[in-house]
Structure 1
Amino acid sequence: MPKVAYSEADRERIRGELVSTGLELMARQGIQHTTVEQIYKAVGISRTFFYSFFPTKEDLVVESLYLQQPRVLAYAKRLMEDPGLSWREGVRKFLLSCCYGERNGIAVLTIQEQQSIFRRLSPESYRLFREKQIRLFGGILDCFGVEPLPERVALFSNLSLSAMVICRAIPQTLPLMVPEAAEETVSVLVDAIVDRLELLKG
């Protein structure tokens, strides 16, 4: 007989499984290629029950990105502690890993996904997201040995996200950009970010 009532502990566990499964799928195959159906079937629940946790896919995406943030920071720390990498090599590897997110198990939003998600966020949810984002990018700068002053965090956030967005937008979203030069373009942008951080370090 199907289970008709779930305890709060059950619901909390299932919610956590939905978020972690969603993140795993999105990091592997991209956010736009991950469906609600894939997620709830992997967890073993119905579509209706899924929507009792998350009114939209976008709500789940935001929660999954929150789950990813400490993992991204831990990855940056591991690179900085790697004796086989120079500071510059570690920072560069981190940024490139984020740009090519799906190759490295990192979920990264496209321009369209950003627009879709943030149109649906309440002002309070948007404020919370920005606070967590600032904390993440500040933590990454601190990990890199750069004092996370507010103006530095803001610039680093914009520069990093710009490289990630351009990487994911050529040629589908930015058709006038030359796809054959996409990887070199991203490489040059990443090098410019590393150059800037190196000036601020220490």
Structure 2
Amino acid sequence: MRKAVTSRVAVATLGGILLAGVAGAAFADEEQQTDDVDVNVVIEELTGPGTLAMTVADDATTLAEVDSDDPTERKFTGTLPSVTVSDTRTSIPEGAAWAVLGQASAFVSTDGGGQPDISAGYLGWVPRVVDPGETYEVLAGDTVDTVLDDGPNNVGLEGVAGPELLAMTLNGSGSAQAVSDSWAADADLFLKVPVDTAPGAYTSVLTLSLFE
């Protein structure tokens, strides 16, 4: 009985396949009419709570050597890619303020030469606000000098006492943030190393963090 049923199922399935093939061939012989259907959609603007977010214009920058004022040092300079803070929130907490902080890792050899690491204490920056938005209530952080410079802020970007300030809004500037929804800052970067630093290619990771 089971064998007979199986056989009938197999025949029925095959017959269906053959029938579909014959029908398809018949309908393909002569097209009588065509028509089109427009498919429309309206995507409404987001009306959710929005977010406070940070974007960086590029994921890398390269320092180039320049003349040093000190014969015992070599100096390299570059620019931090622009950092943009955007606030799309429809409701900003009272007393809100944000800050972008930065901290760098040691420079490590990338060319297989086995050179010793270079401390991020030799890396400094000069932050600046490049787009204050419409409120101008955003401030650049202080200059951070290297360990080869004179004080008072000659700690480098190693973060011994914590990350260094790139830019921030003032405490209680929530109402101002609601008026201007984006700001941008960058920084001049400079690396100073002793003249006897081993030559070679090095890389460091500068981590930027947004806090509120």
TM-score interval, normalised by the smaller of the two chains: under 0.3
Point out the structure with max Rg over C-alpha.
2
| Structure (1/2) with the larger strand percentage | 2
TM-score scaled by length of structure 2: 0.25
